[in-house]
Copies of this chain bind each other. A is one copy, B any other.
């Protein structure tokens, strides 16, 4: 039975994410058509075009309860702007660079032009594609720990409850929990999740490693799960996409929604990912300690290794926030240790001036220098060397050889950072991401993920955000600010003018 409401809402339904199609861009939305091709969200009606959505059971306004007791058509005004329209759009690009020489400019030619890319806005829809009492939801956390996992789990569970869902399961220890029969599910109720956000880690447990998509979907079918929430990184999102596609192939009505989890903040298109802020905050403890150790020793050198296999965001932000770091080494920027522009020379200059020196190094920095140092594993694949310990060993050797006394103090706070509960800022980010993941699933979207873009919460097709890792741009203002703050030179070979 089709719902009957006033025009504005009705048109919303007819033009849900899947159907959104203008022949040409509206005058105030240049680039919309191209955006709709690139950022179009898969929707459950792609597979089941005949599903008739229902009024949402979600409401934030007690005086506007439309749960059951709606007598006649409500006008938009009465609904108190409670819902997000499927056609609401958020701009992806917001800077117009005047010239390719502008800091951070991503222009293809000198005469930069501005591209309009429109993303779908996240949030509760007025109409939903799942009957809450029929929802069988599962949540899984994958990969390494990250502050805020429990906040996301909690909000997904609580928001599902708000919609009226009663069957919410946590899959233990990542995708493995779908396959391994010894691993039992965890019941998630408003009571059981009430205070889990006060603790770090994941109450579901987490694990790395992949499982066969087909086996996971077999299990999903067997359980009757029809909403799956995957909290994980690039790899786990790829897994979620594969699950979504396998479900479509098997004609299963399953909404698969991701919540990007990467403490390294290396997901494309998003302002920041949850846990990052807390990581930068918590890294301050290690940096402060290293500073104190360095400053209290004769020619003391503090070295702090921070997370970031491919991206130096944590190292860069933590150095900036600290204001006490003299040298920040990240994967995106090449450096040489020796030579007049090398790291050692800078360290000596700093020690001679201040008496001590503080180095922050991202775990993925200088991998060209340690290539082969980590040895190979059983399969002959190279193991990444621990750049922090390697750097300290090399530097000690160098300083000894050149007769420059120096005392090294090395801190690796990785696990202490990862296991921290989310700070307030991340707590809010996690909560809203978790809520929006549920809104997306009820809104019928699948194969999508949620993220903060230009301060607004958006839904994105998974493939767009996992194309590659997001990196620090060495030409960005933020990296330049880091250079200004540390006072470090660019360790790359000196610039040769081409004139």
Contact = CB atoms under 8 A, between A and B. Distances in A.
A455 B104 CA distance: 14
A103 B81 contact: yes
Nearest to A425: B277
The range of chain A's interface size is 35 or more
Interface string A75-91: 11111111111111111
B95 A456 contact: yes
Given A81-B101, A98-B85, A483-B60, A293 B201 contact: yes
Oligomer: number of copies? 4
Contacts of A83: 101-103
Contact of A94 (B29, B91, B407, B431): B91
A489 interface: yes
A99 B85 contact: yes
Nearest to A174: B298
5 contacts: A8-B99, A63-B490, A81-B475, A103-B123, A159-B484
A205 interface: yes
A321 to B, nearest CB: 4
Contacts of A259: none
A292 B419 contact: yes
B490 A61 contact: yes
A284 interface: yes
A323 interface: yes
Contacts of A48: none
Interface in A450-490: 454-457, 475, 477, 480-481, 483-485, 489-490
A435 B297 contact: no
A498 B76 CA distance: 12
A298 B173 contact: yes
Interface in A19-67: 28-30, 60-64
Interface in A197-217: 197-202, 205-207
Contacts of A480: 60-61, 82
A81 B61 CA distance: 50
Interface in A330-366: 341
Interface stretch (A222-230, A235-243, A408-416): A408-416
A398 interface: no
Nearest to A74: B497
Interface stretch (A113-121, A128-136, A245-253): A113-121
A79 B475 CA distance: 10
Contact of A431 (B159, B320, B413): B320
A373 interface: no
Nearest to A491: B62
A388 interface: no
A317 interface: yes
A283 B413 CA distance: 13
A405 B324 CA distance: 38
Contact of A320 (B64, B72, B154, B428): B428
A197 B310 CA distance: 30
